[in-house]
Amino acid sequence: MINERNLPILATLLVFILLYGYGVYEYKGFRDTLVFSNLLTDNAFLIITAIGMTFVILSGGIDLSVGSMIAFVGVLMAYLISTAGIHPLFAIAIALLVGVAFGTLMGIIIAFFEIQAFIVTLAGMFLFRGLAYLINLDAVPISHPFITGLSDVYLPLPGRGGLTFIAMAMLVLLIIGILIARRTRFGMSVYALGGDSHSAALLGVPVKKTVIKIYALSGFYSAMSGVIFAIYTGSAYPLAAVGVELDAIAAVVIGGTLLTGGVGYVFGTFLGGMIQGIIQTLITFDGSLNSWWTKLAVGGLLLFFILLQKGIVMWVKKRSAA
């Protein structure tokens, strides 16, 4: 018998296989490893953001600040490299520390002042975007041999494809996220918190400390996404990543994580992000549809998975009552 908790991610895996299989069947170019490697590279920053968002949603929270954090970290990193003359490694380290610090601050406010995460992270969304505009109003190119060197890193695959530095960084962060979720006490605490915070507290889970760590981790992943996005585009812009928080939430939900928390997989989030990329690639290969069809398709999938989650919850309750 299949555990009902695994049904959402199994549905996600089935959708992923069907969409990719359709692409392979319909378009000859889809069979090349170049398409898959491009999917990894082009959707890396979204998947990295969504990994951090997974921990937040697993705990029953939400983080609306991630898109603005990406823009702020990118602009900060560009300023440190291009204007302040700091080496990119130190600039990246500073940017990540700032991201973690802001995430921790939001976690402290949520945990100790018991303010809803929606309100706190909404304030963070406006704050980080405003800070990005304070640093620079225009697009800032990032021209440094170290950044160029990272962009040139390439691990060839059979066919014409290959793993870029961006794709490899995303896969490493994915593995780290999976290990944290499934192999650490913190990961188990996140699941317990999302299942029932009161029961988790009675079982000895440090609720406040766990909440702070969750938003610090989300801050790290969104800051890391900002670094990756800056390397990917070779520039930074205060208006970058507008709406990415919604795309990240969509990737998490399509990946099988319950919006109510307590159930989900980090690997499912990876599949959810890849599904969005596959839909966009299929539309590009078709050539007769505009990019807005991607939003329609993702919206339809999101509605399907929300209804699926609701159906599973109702079925479990009915079976428990019986």
CB 44 within 8 A of CB 228: yes
What is the residue-level pLDDT of the chain in tens, covering all 322 positions? Answer: 556 678 888 889 999 999 999 999 999 889 999 999 999 999 999 999 999 999 999 999 999 999 999 999 999 999 999 889 999 999 999 999 999 999 999 999 999 999 999 999 999 999 999 999 999 888 889 989 999 999 899 999 988 899 999 999 999 999 999 999 999 999 999 999 998 889 999 989 999 999 999 999 999 999 999 999 999 999 999 999 999 999 999 999 999 998 889 999 999 999 999 999 999 999 888 877 777 778 888 888 888 888 877 777 677 667 766 6
How high is the pLDDT of residue 320? 67
How high is the pLDDT of residue 48? 98
pTM, two decimals, is 0.95
How many alpha carbons lie under 13 Å from residue 198 in its C-beta half-sphere?
0
How high is the pLDDT of residue 195? 86
* Domain boundaries along the sequence of the chain: 4-321
Six-digit token string for 294: 């991607």
Q: Which CATH number is associated with domain 4-321?
A: 1.10.3470
How high is the pLDDT of residue 322? 62
How high is the pLDDT of residue 211? 98
